[in-house]
Amino acid sequence: MIDIISKKYFHLHNGEISYLFYVMENGQLGHLYYGKDLGTLTESDLKYIALHNNKASGTVKYSPDIPKFTLADRMQEYPTYGTSDFREGAISIECGDEILYPDFKYYDYQINNIKSRNLDMPASYAEDDESQTLTVNLVDEEHKLHLALNYTIFKNSHAIVRSSKVTNLGDKAVKIQNLQSTVLELPDDNYDFLQLSGAWLKERHIKKRPLEQGITKIESLRGASSHQENPFIALVSKTATLNNGRIFASNLIYSGNFVSQVEVDEWGVSRLMTGINPATFTWKLEKDESFSTPEAVIFYTDNGYNGLMQETHNFVKEHIIDRKWQTKKRPIVINSWEAYVFDFNEEKLLRLANEANELGMECFVLDDGWFGHRDTDRTSLGNWTVDKKKFPEGLDHFSDALHDLGMQFGLWFEPEMVSPDTELYKNHPDWVVRHPYSRAAIGRGQYVLDFANPEVVENIFGQMRKIIANCHVDYVKWDMNRNITEAYSEYLHRENLPQGEFFHRYIMGVYHLYAKLLEAFPDLLIEGCASGGGRYDLGIMYYSPQIWPSDDSDASERLDIMSGTMLAYPLSVFSNHVSAVPNGQVRRNTSLKFRQDLADFGPLGYELDLNKLSPSQKDQIKNHIKWYKENRDLLVNGNFKQLIPLNDNNKYAWVVSDNKEKIVGFYRKLAKPNDTLDRYFVLKDLDQDKTYEVNDNLIVGGRILQNFGLREPYQFNGSNGDTAQVTGDFQSYLYKIVEK
């Protein structure tokens, strides 16, 4: 998969894509191509591709020794600002008061065929013979710096994974101020910049804007990837559709402060970069010390949005999430939060659990309120001991009762936070993230613990391990409800380390706690959560096979959240709950059918007081859960595609499929009066020579479904009450299509 030609040209290819770069005249690395596979390349082919004799006007020569050569008009693999290139660079290093301008020259390379899964830090992984990793070593002799650029290509994937590592070979300490994970240069700018943005309760909506000369970027400075932005971005060709058109995309395997940006120069060349946000980052390197960036992944497709989703979904399922979760069934949960909030005891919870068990639910998640004296959200965080008032016989007694029912036991933690009324806060004020001045912000009545300090992580792990072991916890919901303000670590101050290292050390502490929990409890399912979708990223997915996507459980809003989220992340990560109406976040009323039909796509759960439902509603849930269990593997792990253009904000349709079966979900937010009787959407990936059964009552040829289409459900039009299949606002209809 990796060809090295004349020790100058590097060609990563796998029959699907090619990624091509070379050693330029000045010894640095230049970028040549990323796109469809170019096959086996001859040296004359490569010389033609790399030919660049025409120096741009109005530029500065890189060196008087190389006439007609400037970095200003070159696509590069890892550019440095100010060395005849005035665009933003991927690296910035200082030594004392001096700003260095590193000049990294090619030295040598290695190829590695092993990429194992390691819990120390989230990164892509592969089984034997599934990937190759190229490490290109570059050296700046004058500044005594070493730069290693890592490139991984996978079989059967369009993805390229990149990271960088800097080592200080000199005697003087240096400070890294910027070190990006990847750079991708494209020779044109005829793209829309697509981002997944929003806010709490409306995360990851699709937003697009055209590229223009200058910088288009998104970022987070909150200590988390955030509700407001997501590390995923895409460059979408102007003519792209669901199934056609070029798209380049990037994502970062990281959960902290990030930047993802594209800079367009005066000649229309686009430079994409993503990595740790330099605005809040400094890293000190003493002699022989190194720093490695988180990995970034780039994607290419010429098959439009559905082609992009095929690549992003397969990559996450195969190379980020532990593969055991593709075969282990995700339990159908009943979550206690919206049913009882803090007002419960063991007897009350067991009534809910018994009802849930009768309906077919498989895991009871006790969401908050079980510890300390937690009767409000302003107390007890950091005191992970059982509230004896609510559980006089102990939490293990409640857990045993659940297991006797045949249900799993899930438990909520917010491990990164501390409340001011706890012994932890009073005994260890230096463990709180807060600058050493009189005023400090407080959010949600709580403070952030200093996870940059290993002692803090060990303390929280010890508390969690005891509870998880003693109570036989099967499932943890890990929450994080407050972003970081006044970032300052007393630990870093004592260790004489720059405060600019805090944010990265903090998120590494989060990963370390995840790793310790999974090493102690390998079968534990940890669902990520950060006030909903505030940390919905590949870094958390490495440890959490599913994430609570939003605190907004309203099915109508979830249509838009899901449409954006699915561009970058697979259904298996998208945790769904059917909640009560009026919905607790927007006070909207939707039918139980609409809520369940939407929540089917991904891991299913319920979050409402089942005891308040009517017998007919309980029967509806019971029958639906039975159907979901029969189709769970397909609904969680099937191949997902959109069927209606993404700019239609009223009507939605998608399909999940495997080799023999498909399930289609159709949704309409608002009814249209006297609508056209017959509309169709086309299904792809069918065998045209076979027939298919639709919902047990229609037999249709594959050629018809693939070219003519699947008929939308008939909408009530004022006079077709005998044939209408959907009525009113917030309509839903499911199709099951089986190959005969």
Cis bond before residue 278 (omega within 30° of 0): no
Nearest to 712 by CA among 677, 660, 674: 677
pLDDT value for 659: 86
Residue 675: is its pLDDT beyond 90? no
Question: Could you give the angle at the alpha carbon of 650 between the alpha carbons of 649 and 655, nearest 5°?
Answer: 85
Residue 400: is its pLDDT beyond 90? yes
Residue range 616-649, pLDDT digits in tens? 999 999 999 999 999 999 999 999 999 999 999 9
Task: Find the mean pLDDT for residues 127-140.
Answer: 97
The pair of structure tokens assigned to 340 is 């009882």
Nearest to 259 by CA among 90, 130, 395: 90
Q: What are phi and psi of 140, to 5 degrees?
A: -105, 100
The pair of structure tokens assigned to 606 is 């319920």
The pair of structure tokens assigned to 164 is 């960088």
Answer for the pair 564, 206: CB distance below 8 angstroms, yes or no: yes
Residue 676: is its pLDDT beyond 80? no
Residue range 58-102, pLDDT digits in tens? 999 999 999 889 999 999 999 999 999 999 999 999 999 999 999
pLDDT value for 67: 87
Nearest to 655 by CA among 733, 574, 728, 544: 733
DSSP conformational letter for 569: S
pLDDT value for 568: 98
Task: Find the mean pLDDT for residues 27-46.
Answer: 97
pLDDT value for 677: 77
pLDDT value for 93: 98
CB proximity list for 477: less than 8 A, separation 6 or greater: 335, 365, 367, 410, 411, 412, 413, 526, 527, 529, 548
pTM for the complete prediction?
Answer: 0.98
pLDDT value for 522: 98
Among 367, 368, 551, 600, the one annotated catalytic: 551
Measured between alpha carbons, how far is 292 from 146 in angstroms, rounded to an integer? 12
Binned at pLDDT 50, 70 and 90, residue 49 comes out as very high
pLDDT value for 431: 98
CB proximity list for 560: less than 8 A, separation 6 or greater: 202, 205, 649
Asked about 343 being catalytic, the answer comes back as no
Binned at pLDDT 50, 70 and 90, residue 54 comes out as confident
Measured between alpha carbons, how far is 168 from 284 in angstroms, rounded to an integer? 10
Binned at pLDDT 50, 70 and 90, residue 391 comes out as very high
Task: Find the mean pLDDT for residues 399-420.
Answer: 98
Asked about 479 being catalytic, the answer comes back as yes
Least confident of 215-219, 453-457, 665-669, 719-723: 719-723
Residue range 501-537, pLDDT digits in tens? 999 999 999 999 999 999 999 999 999 999 999 999 9
What is the radius of gyration, based on Cα positions, of the chain?
27
CB proximity list for 549: less than 8 A, separation 6 or greater: 203, 204, 532, 533, 536, 558, 561, 562, 565, 574, 575
The pair of structure tokens assigned to 200 is 């709490």
What are the Cα distances from residue 568, in Å, to 191, 234, 562? Answer: 18, 9, 10
Coil, strand, or helix at residue 546? strand
Residue range 465-503, pLDDT digits in tens? 999 999 999 999 999 999 999 999 999 999 999 999 999
Binned at pLDDT 50, 70 and 90, residue 316 comes out as very high
Counting residues of the chain whose pLDDT is more than 90, the rounded percentage is: 98
Task: Find the mean pLDDT for residues 284-300.
Answer: 98
Amino acid at 596: Q
Instruction: Supply the mean pLDDT for the chain.
Output: 97
Task: Find the mean pLDDT for residues 122-132.
Answer: 97
Among 103, 367, 479, 560, the one annotated catalytic: 479
pLDDT value for 696: 87
CB proximity list for 452: less than 8 A, separation 6 or greater: 489, 491, 492, 501, 502, 505, 506, 508, 509
Measured between alpha carbons, how far is 588 from 583 in angstroms, rounded to an integer? 5
322 Ramachandran zone, left/alpha/beta (phi>0; psi -120 to 50): beta
